[in-house]
């Protein structure tokens, strides 16, 4: 089996260690004997709906989100939304997460239209949230990461939060939620990078990809003793410092 990982806007939306997410996806594929290829897709480049199995969309500054928002307004965005609606797996972080919602309104700028995949919207806030984050997720257990954002994301009535904040500020610092999940697409503010610290999320994305591409229902387990220890230690440090 082979899976192709599409790093959306990896040349511009790539901050706070987000590259580690695509590396973790590829490595956990290869440990299972699954060939993994990473491809970056930038502004103005066509999205082939049959070419990719897993999508990652990372964070960026407001100035980088402006051309990206324009880029997803046309056929490219329509293709991406259709793929996600069909169950293609994606992890989106920070800026990518914001643009999967209905819109993002930067400070002092015009509102940027989003893809509208999540029933959510975002706006620039007056405070920057920085620090370790621990999230209790019904889907994945306890998640750990690092947030660094001033954008505030609010979930609509049909949106499902990725989890509840135990440490940190989360989506908006007000309602105790962090992230959003719909079908096989996850959005969140967890940098760090998220996937190396939380292998259960990585495997969720890989499992969804091989099921969609090959009809394979089960994902071969890995010996994750070291990953589990690292995950637990990261949680302990986050709780202690938070």
Q: What is the tens place of the pLDDT at every residue in 115-170?
A: 999 999 999 999 999 999 999 999 999 999 999 999 999 999 999 999 999 999 99
Q: Is 191 noted as a catalytic residue in this protein?
A: yes
For position 15, what pLDDT does the model report? Answer: 79
- SS3 string of the chain? CEEEEEEECCCCCCCCCCHHHHHHHHHHHHCCCCEEEEEEECCCCCCCCCCCCEEEECCCCHHHHHHHHHHCCCHHHHHHHHHHHCCCCEEEECHHHHHCCCEEECCCCCCEECCCCCCEEEEEEEEEEEEEEEEEECCCEEEEEEEEEEEEEEECCCCECCEEEEECCCCCCCCCEECEEECCEEEECCECCHHHHCHHHHHHHHHHHHHHHHCCCCCCCCCCHHHHHHHHHHHHHHHHHC
Question: Which residue out of 94, 149, 180, 231 is catalytically annotated?
Answer: 94
For position 63, what pLDDT does the model report? Answer: 78
> Total domain count for the chain?
1
For position 61, what pLDDT does the model report? Answer: 80
For position 148, what pLDDT does the model report? Answer: 95
Per residue in 184-206, pLDDT (tens digit) is 999 999 998 999 999 999 999 99
For position 109, what pLDDT does the model report? Answer: 82
- What range defines the domain where residue 165 resides? 2-241
Per residue in 32-90, pLDDT (tens digit) is 999 999 999 999 999 999 999 999 999 988 778 889 999 999 999 999 999 999 999 99
Per residue in 217-227, pLDDT (tens digit) is 999 999 999 99
Q: Is 94 noted as a catalytic residue in this protein?
A: yes
For position 14, what pLDDT does the model report? Answer: 82
In CATH, what number is assigned to the domain containing residue 90?
3.40.50.880
Once rounded to an integer, what is the mean pLDDT over residues 204-233? 96
What distance lies between CA 232 and its chain's CA centroid?
Answer: 21
pLDDT band, very low/low/confident/very high, at 16 (cuts 50, 70, 90): confident
For position 29, what pLDDT does the model report? Answer: 98
Question: Which residue out of 6, 180, 188, 191 is catalytically annotated?
Answer: 191
């Amino acid at each position: 089996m082979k899976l192709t990982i599409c790093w959306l806007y990896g040349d511009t939306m790539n901050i706070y260690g987000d590259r580690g997410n695509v590396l973790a996806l590829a490595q956990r594929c290869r440990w299972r004997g699954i060939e993994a290829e990473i491809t970056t897709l930038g502004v103005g480049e066509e999205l082939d709906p049959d070419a990719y199995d897993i999508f990652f969309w990372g964070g960026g500054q407001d100035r980088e989100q402006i051309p990206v928002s324009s880029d997803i307004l046309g056929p490219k965005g329509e293709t991406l939304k259709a793929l996600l609606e069909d169950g293609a797996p994606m992890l989106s972080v920070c800026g990518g997460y914001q643009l999967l919602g209905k819109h993002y309104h930067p400070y002092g700028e015009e509102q940027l239209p989003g893809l509208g995949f999540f029933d959510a919207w975002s706006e620039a806030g007056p405070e920057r949230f920085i620090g370790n984050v621990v999230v209790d997720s019904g889907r994945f257990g306890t998640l750990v990461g690092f947030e660094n954002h001033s954008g505030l994301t609010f979930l609509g009535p049909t949106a499902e939060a990725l989890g509840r904040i135990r440490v940190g500020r989360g989506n908006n610092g007000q309602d105790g939620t962090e992230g959003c999940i719909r079908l096989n697409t996850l959005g969140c503010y967890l940098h760090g990078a998220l996937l190396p610290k939380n292998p259960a999320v990585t495997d969720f994305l890989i499992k969804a990809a091989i099921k969609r591409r090959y009809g394979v229902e089960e994902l071969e387990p890995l010996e994750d003793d070291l990953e589990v220890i690292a995950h637990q230690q990261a949680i302990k440090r986050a709780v202690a410092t938070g």
